[in-house]
Amino acid sequence: MVLVNVKWGREKYEVDLNIDESPLLFKSQLFALTNVLPDRQKLLAKGRTIGDESWEGLTVTPGMMFMMMGSSAPIPQAPVPGGFDKDDHPLEPRKAVILPLGLGNLGNTCYFNSVLQMLQVVPEVHSTLKATKHPRISLLSEMSKTFTIINDPEYAEDNTHVQPFVLLETLRTHFPQFGSVSASGTMEQQDANECYTVLLNTVLASTDRNTESRDNARKYFGGRFEVKTKCIESEEEEVTTSSETFYQLSCFLNQDVKYIQTGIKCGMKEEIEKYSNVLGRNSKWLKEELIARLPKYVSIQLVRFFYKENSQTSAKVLKDVKFPMMLDLYDVCTPELQAKLQPMRACIKEEEDAKIEIEQKKKLMDKDEAKKFKDNGEVLPSEFEDDIGSNNSGFYELQAVVSHKGRTVKSGHYVAWIKSEGKWLLCDDENVTPVDAENVLKTSGGGDWHTAYILLYGARQVKKYPAPAAEPEPMN
C-alpha cells in the first residue's frame, strides 16, 4: 500500500493505493469518498491520464498527487412502488421498456420471488427448461410456465402480476424446509441464497444426461478451481494439486474488505488442519484456489449472515462492500487461463479505442446525423471455440442483484434488481419499476436500506468495429 493524495476541486483526500490492483479498484475507492462514479472520473498524474486496466509507465511514490475530475451523482432514493417516486414525480413510463410481470407475495415469499426474477434473466435457463423432458407437474415444468407467463405481453394486457401458487407448493413438496411455520402460525421468511441454490441445482440436475447440448446449463454456470494444498509446518511434505467444480463464488466480509474483489480473494485462500505423513500428526496446511475455467455466468454470494450463539439468532453484516457494474476476474485465474484470456482482452482495448473515435466523429455531426448514426460493430463470441458456455475475456457485466432489507435472515424483505433490454428494473413482488443504475450500486450496504446479498454477472459482450477508411492521399 502507498499513501497518496487526491485533489478533487477544493477537496483533498489521503488514500491508500494498492499498485498490485487495477486502477479501476482505486477509482472505486474514490467513488466511496466522493460519490463520483468510476466511469465519470478522469484521473491525472504526472501529466498523463490513468486508464482502468494498468499502472504501466507510472511510478507511484508516497505522497504523490493525483488530480481527479468528474461530477458526483446525487444519492439515489429508494423507488416507491406504484409508478411514482418519493416526491410524487412519475417514474419512467412502462412503454419505454418491456417489463416482466411481477410475482404475487403469497406470505413471506419475497425471497422466492426475487430469486425467480433473477434466474429468468438468463436465456440459457429458459432454453434448458424447454429442452428438458419432465413430468407435467414438477418443479421444472412450473418454473418453465412461470418464466413464459411473466414475459408474455398478451398475458400482461389483462394481468398486473402472476400468482405462482403451484410452483411454490411444488417447491415446498420437494424441499419442506421452505414450508416452515412460525410460532404464530404464519409462513416463515427464508434465505434467498438457499432458495437460489436449490432452484439452480434442480435446473442443472435436469441436464446431466445431455452433457454435450447447448441447452446444458451446467456449461454456463459451472466453473473450475485449481486447488493447491501445501503443508505450512514441513517443506518436505509434497504439495498436492486437485480440481474442484463451483457454481457460485463467495465474498467473505471482514474489517479489511471494502470491495467485492477483495472479499472473493479472501475466500480462495484458507488455513486448514490435515494429517501430515512426514510429521506423523495433524498439522497446518494452506489451501489456495485459482480459477481454471470461467463460466459465462458467475453468481456471487456476499456472506452477510452469521449465527449468534448467545441469542441463538442469525445476524446480518451491514458493512458497505462496493461492487462494480463491470467485474474483472483475471487476477484470480491460473496463469494458463490468463494466457488464454489475452486475445479477447486485446479486442476489448481495440473496442474501447474505436468507441472513443466514434464519439469524436459524432461530435462533428449535426444533431440529426448523430441520431441516425448506427452502431456497425460486430458482436464477437464470448466463449472459447472449444468450450461451450465459457468466458474468454475474464470480464463480466452485472445482470441482476438480490438485495435484503432487515437485520436477520428470518425477517426483512427481499427484492430483485434486474437488467432487461439494457434497462435496470426493480422487481418488488407484484411491482416492477424502471430505476437508474445508481440505485443498484446504492445497495452496496452500510445502512438499513436494501443491501446486496446475491450478485449475478454475465460474460461481457465485445464488439469489433471495421477499420476506419484511409484518408485519400493529396494530389500532386
Residue-wise pLDDT tens digits, 327-383? 999 999 999 999 999 999 999 999 998 888 888 887 888 777 777 777 788 999 999
245 — phi, psi (to 5°)?
-90, 140
Contact 383, 462 (CB under 8 A): no
Backbone angles phi, psi at 239, to 5 degrees: -75, 130
Dump pLDDT digits (tens) for 444-453.
Answer: 998 878 999 9
CB-based contacts of 6, cutoff 8 Å, min separation 6: 12, 13, 14, 15, 30, 65, 66, 67, 68
> What confidence tier does 310 reach under pLDDT thresholds 50, 70, 90?
low
CATH code 3.90.70.10 for 94-218+298-361+376-464 = yes
Domain boundaries, the chain: 2-69, 94-218+298-361+376-464
Residue 364 is predicted with a pLDDT of: 80
* Average pLDDT score, the chain: 85
Whether domain 2-69 has CATH 3.50.50.60: the reply is: no
* pLDDT classification of 74: cutoffs 50, 70, 90: very low
State pLDDT tens for residues 239-272: 999 999 999 999 988 888 999 999 999 889 999 9
The upper half-sphere exposure of residue 115, i.e. CA atoms within 13 Å in the direction of its Cβ, equals 23
Looking at the chain, the number of H-run helices and the number of E-run strands are: 12, 23
Selecting among 89, 110, 161, 195, the annotated active-site residue is 110
Check residue 390 and give its pLDDT: 96
pTM of this structure: 0.76
Q: CA-to-CA distance for 25 and 453, rounded, in angstroms?
A: 20
Contact 35, 73 (CB under 8 A): yes
Please tell me the least confidently modeled range out of 14-23, 216-225, 331-340: 14-23
For this structure, is 333 an active site residue? no
Given the residues 134, 266, 347, 413, select the one marked as catalytic: 413
Query: pLDDT band at 153, cuts 50/70/90?
Result: confident
Q: Is 174 a catalytic residue?
A: no
